[in-house]
Structure 1
């Protein structure tokens, strides 16, 4: 080995690594195209029939693939179709948000077998929210084991940034919800021997729109969430941008001219400026605006109410300022609006008009197509990606 290094040569990949890579390609192909024969896998991947047959044998021995019938209607030796075994495992995804907790358990093709929505526990204290999360995940695992094997990954979305290096929730000033005051990994510790994946809810919504929604063909886009808080998921070069400490996209902290002056000027300024436009906020004097109250204002604007229309125009302008700043820095191919307020159709045109006035070049601005289910779809995608990766890696180790 030292001689090879001295000559500037690299060691060839080991046979174990080559087997693992082959198994991954074969398993991914079956996920995508099942039912499929070994000959069809070889044709689709360019791997030799002999190598594919050995990979299928290993994956079948590991309990990941099953025969799915004989190929009919062709001359010569009949081929055997293969599919992923139903008992290969499953994943659990949780959208842990302030207004509704969504839980989805799905097989490795992403087909849900359990979907439920739960009201958040009251009062919303960190310990109580952690207990509720643990109970919901435990129930989903109990429901999945009999027909789907063992759980392979659990993904949890939170309404706070998440450190990309440690997957721990980052607690910021003005953290509005208990979800930002406890660590899901600790709440779920010991429940099952599976990876616990934690990610920011807006980032997950952006991932979902990239995989299954309005950004399927966009290599770069910004997903701007407008709800009780504000945030952005940013994808550049088909990569989710998290930042060094997980706070990339926290556009709620932008300082804006519409924010009332004071010692907290510049801290969560955009969110405060948006909130300040709604009468319920002014009456309460608090930092949060009820989503339903905001929707009522938008509904009135859509029917021609002049005062409501002015509020919507003002909010659209503030959001447009933020999007224009993003456009000047990263020049996204597309901007999507999401979140319970961002999805309202009355907001789209005021935002477009503001960005057109302020941005160097205006990208297409649309509304996300996955609606309020975008976050749980993103959590499910995150869990599935990890589960499938672990599956083929485990199969390679067991067959080495």
Structure 2
């Protein structure tokens, strides 16, 4: 009865709202099926041919859709194919990596036209990182504007937690990445009016695995990142769970049995002390913890007894933490990712620990996207936001007379 009263008081949607919804459905269909004719859009959406034709006309006037040739080889009226205009806009995705900034600019179909993956960063120099980020994004905005229009969304992946209410980066002690201690909003202020989306790198990796990787068939899973730091992204009921302040999944801070009670950053320290060295703060001139872990894993694959013992201990330690998570959130699947977590030599020791310790052990599998997962996730959320905003932004420009 409450629902009926709410609907009765809501009234019918305005014609303007109906047109906006229709245009969005038509745009989404073109993104999924392009090139596509008006008749095919009507068939796929169930919207009448007349209404689809009016929507396509409006979207052409907004310079969002353009003809892409004529339909040939069939009887009857010749249809016109449509596709999204090449200069309708583009998106930028940036990943602040421990030792570099990775950038990708892509059109609205997700096809990259600019990638930069080897920009050196100075360890523990956030001011330099902020300047470098601004320079790279400014260059990508200028280059993308030549053929693709204006940026419609910019997504930045950072290593630290991000407040889900304000998108502010939250500094935590023992952060392994220098990129997490400055605010991307401040570094990129004034470069573009496109929405800036800032999110934790492990959360974005989980999003990428859900939409494009090994988590596509799971409504709930835990993505465990093992690299220079340790973290976890949680997808529950097909929704990312960042926590009230953005720190859900910071498993590096879990207490574990191998560390004295009250040890800060207990799991990360236990993993480091077991022999990998991951989870430690990289020193400017010190050893690379990821490279050290990979060397141990390589030796283990070759049968080195000492390395095998280290990997077994690491697997037990990480599996103990995962089993704790399973007892709390009961995920359908656990994915291991990151430059160390995705290594096959680590998989079986972790599986064995989870099978032994978890109340109802879920499958433990490697992620499908490797080290590219955070950048893929940033690109995915930027595309989703850009496509959602595309029609309304174009409508505002048309009304303002800017075309």
Is the Cα–Cα contact under 8 Å of residues 213 and 367 in structure 2 kept in the other structure? yes
Shift of 1:253: 1.0
| Counterpart-to-counterpart distance in 2, 1:257 and 1:267 | 13
1:369 aligns with 2:368: yes
2:302 match:
303
Which residue of 2 is the match for residue 77 of structure 1? 77
> Does 2:265 match 1:268?
yes
CA contact (8 A) 2:176 2:228 kept: no
2:187 counterpart of 1:190: no
- CA distance in 1: counterparts of 2:360 and 2:170, whole angstroms: 34
Distance 2:235 2:281 in 1: 36
Change (3 A) 1:331 1:6: closer
Deviation for aligned residue 1:361 = 1.2
Q: Give how far 1:306 is off.
A: 1.1
SS of aligned partner of 1:55:
helix
Instruction: Please tell me whether the aligned partners of residues 42 and 48 of structure 2 are also in contact (alpha carbons under 8 angstroms).
Output: yes
Work out the number of aligned pairs and report it: 394
Give the secondary-structure state (helix, strand or coil) at the position aligned to 2:9. Answer: coil
Shift in alpha-carbon separation, 1:396–1:18, aligned structure 2, 3 A: farther
Three-state SS of the structure 2 residue aligned to 1:87 is coil
Residue aligning to 2:141: 141
Q: Which runs of 5+ in 1 are unaligned?
A: none
Residue 290 (str. 1) matches residue 289 (str. 2): yes
Query: In the TM superposition, what is the alpha-carbon distance from 1:393 to its structure 2 partner?
Result: 2.2
2:166 and 2:6 map into 1 onto residues whose CA distance is 37
| CA offsets 1:258-312 (integer angstroms, 9 cap, x no match) | 12x37xx342111111011127689999899611011101111111111111111
Q: Distance in 2 between matches of 1:307 and 1:5?
A: 70
Alignment match, 1:321:
320
1:155–1:382 contact (8 Å) kept in structure 2: yes
Quick one: distance in 1 between partners of 2:282 and 2:9?
68
**CA displacement 1:27-79 (0-9 Å, x = unmatched):** 00000000100111011001111111111111111010000111112222111
**1:128-162 Cα deviation digits (max 9, x unpaired):** 11001111111211221111111111111000000
Deviation readout 1:230-271 (Å, 9 max, x if unpaired): 000110111011111111111111100112x37xx3421111
Q: Which residue of 2 aligns with 1:278?
A: 275
| TM-score w.r.t. length of structure 1 | 0.94
Cα distance per residue 1:165-221 (max 9 Å; x no partner):
101101112223322211001100011121111000001111111111111111111
Q: CA RMSD in A?
A: 2.3
Q: 1:35 corresponds to which residue?
A: 35
Tell me the SS of whatever aligns to 1:193: coil
Structure 2 stretches lacking a partner, 5+ long: none
Task: Tell whether the 8 Å contact from 2:230 to 2:279 is kept in structure 1 after alignment.
Answer: no
**Residues 255 and 279 of structure 1: CA distance in aligned 2, closer, same or farther (over 3 Å):** closer
Matched with 2:113 is 113
Residue 379 (structure 1) aligns with? 378
Look up the match of 2:165. 165
Find the aligned partners of 1:207 and 1:282 in 2 and give their Cα distance.
Answer: 22
Find the residue that maps to 1:336 and give its secondary structure. Answer: strand
Matched residue SS, 1:176:
coil
What's the TM-score once normalised by structure 2's chain length? 0.93
Q: What's the secondary structure of 2:198's corresponding residue?
A: strand
Contact kept, 8 Å, 1:20 with 1:396, in 2: the verdict is no
Tell me if structure 2 keeps the 8 A contact 1:16–1:396.
no
Task: Decide whether the 8 Å contact of 2:332 with 2:362 is kept in 1.
Answer: yes
Tell me the residue number matched to 1:333.
332
Decide whether the 8 Å contact of 1:30 with 1:83 is kept in 2: yes
With over 3 angstroms needed to count, the CA separation of the structure-2 counterparts of 1:357 and 1:281, relative to structure 1, is closer
